Amino acid sequence: MPARDIYHYNVKNALIKDGWTITHDPLVLKVGAKDLFVDLGAEKLLAAEKEDDKIAVEVKSFVGASEIEDLKNALGQYILYADVLEDVEPDRNLYLAIRRITFLELFEEPIGKKLLQKRRLKLIVFDSKTEDIVQWIP
């Protein structure tokens, strides 16, 4: 099993504070003989619809030497997980969890805006100090 991201517990706590129940830590996806490990799986009861909303969350710190290199790696991992989830758990939505500072420095710039405009990924923006979810970008 791969090492946890440095902000793993910050995101886990933020999700719990936001009313989510952590169901998997990590969420294991089996693809043939291979296992993939998404950081977290969570559910939230939607009272009005009397059904569960299910998500998978991949946490990324973006603390490498190059934020563009980090972005390429995160996007590749996100696409792989999204494609596998579509087959094995189609009712679960995948999100990439990033810090607010990363969102401001990368996704408020043209390259990040392009990814969001094209709906290449879904984001959870969190505050690592307060362990709060700042924004959901579906």
Q: Which pair of tokens denotes residue 97?
A: 């969890």
Q: Is residue 2 part of a domain?
A: no
At position 83, the amino acid (one-letter code) is D
pLDDT string in tens for the chain (138-residue length):
788 999 999 999 999 999 999 999 999 999 999 999 999 999 998 766 557 899 999 999 999 999 999 999 999 999 999 999 999 999 999 999 999 999 999 999 999 999 999 999 999 999 999 999 999 999
Taking a C-beta distance cutoff of 8 angstroms, is the pair 51, 92 a contact?
no
Range of the domain at 97: 8-137
- Rounded Cα distance between 66 and 70, Å, is 6
C-alpha angle 85/89/90, rounded to 5°?
85
Check which CATH number belongs to the domain holding 88 and give it.
3.40.1350.10
Q: Is residue 89 part of a domain?
A: yes
Q: Is residue 127 part of a domain?
A: yes
Task: Cite the DSSP H helix spans in 18-119.
Answer: 67-88, 100-102, 110-117
Q: Is residue 1 part of a domain?
A: no
pTM over 0.85: yes
pLDDT at 102: 97
Q: Is residue 3 part of a domain?
A: no
Please give the C-alpha separations between residue 60 and each of 33, 52, 96, 125, in angstroms, as whole numbers.
26, 25, 7, 11
**Number of domains composing the chain:** 1
Q: Is residue 23 part of a domain?
A: yes
Which SS3 state, helix, strand or coil, does residue 39 take?
Answer: coil
Q: Is residue 45 part of a domain?
A: yes
Q: Is residue 87 part of a domain?
A: yes
